[in-house]
Amino acid sequence: MRSRSIGSRVTKISTRVILGVALLAVPATAVAATAIPGGKSDSATHSPHSSRAASGLDDPAKKEIAMKLVSSAENSSLNWKDQYKYIEDIGDGRGYTAGIIGFCSGTHDMLELVELYAKRKPDNILAKYLPALRKVDGSDSHEGLGNAYVKDWKTAAKDPDFQKAQNDERDRVYFNPAVKQGKADKIGVLGQFAYYDAIVMHGDGDEDTSFSSIRERALKKAKPPSQGGDEKKYLNAFMDARVWAMQQEEAHSDTSRVDTAQRVFLKDGNLDLHTPLKWKVYGEDFHIG
């Protein structure tokens, strides 16, 4: 799997901070409700300190929470499904950044996504850009893409087949590997989410800031439950290692997605992300009720 350490998506919010553009004149508050079977919030039957849930982050309700948490940091919104159509060059050297997980034209995952879409639907509106995507892969070039590609991406985003392709590539490259490793380490939903958020930003590979390297750095400080360690101590060590990795790149230097989100849940002992959840990212308040 290729690494995003060099080619990772830089969050749009962070980039705007670096460019000196104010995020918002007044901090916004996003409020969303998570649907639970039977019409009840899972907080109605669980408290953060109750017995551990049997499901992992791949439970549909928990996965929805994960997507909203990531979207709050990446898009300043809990409406992650509105991001299928998102596409822009944020000036980070990775070319176009687009879609629900920040597929980049310069880091191979956008190419793989469009190839999958073309395999499933050969006559789709983006298929004609495959030669250009192969040519610009590994660079920030727009050659053969440009405004026409941006327009056609937004059109393709209305196609359920393209939406499914985005979902499937997100799962294959980022979500499933994070959950698999989290379950192997016997950490709960919060820990699995911390893994997922890290692999989304940093990718996986041999670099010091890749997901695997972040995990190895944490293992030098604490053991996961699978090795007889304390889960909270291990997750604190992982988050420390994650913050260090973020600080190695200026565009990631705002670590609030860890400090005022993940660590808040950990401090509360909410290891399975039971709702309600309250957190801050870049000073903005978010809530899942």
Residues belonging to the active site: 74, 92
Rounded to an integer, what distance in angstroms lies between the CA atom of residue 82 and that of residue 157? Answer: 9
Residues 6+ apart with CB under 8 A from 14: 251, 252, 253, 254
Determine the 3-state secondary structure of 160 from DSSP.
Answer: helix
Spatial distance between the Cα atoms of 240 and 261, rounded to a whole number of angstroms? 14
How far, rounded to the nearest angstrom, does the alpha carbon of residue 257 sit from its chain's CA centroid? 11
Instruction: Specify the amino acid at residue 168.
Output: D
Specify the residue for token string 């849940």.
Answer: 265
Asked whether the beta carbons of 158 and 196 are under 8 A apart, the reply is no
Cis-peptide into 276, omega within 30 deg? yes
Cα–Cα distances (Å) from 11 to 81, 92, 196, in that order, read 17, 9, 15
**281 membership: H or E segment, kind and range:** strand 277-281
- Give the number of residues written for the chain: 289
Q: How far apart are CA 141 and CA 111, in angstroms?
A: 14
Distance CA 253, CA 114 (A): 31
C-beta of residue 107 within 8 angstroms of C-beta of residue 94: yes
For residue 130, give both structure tokens: 């495959």
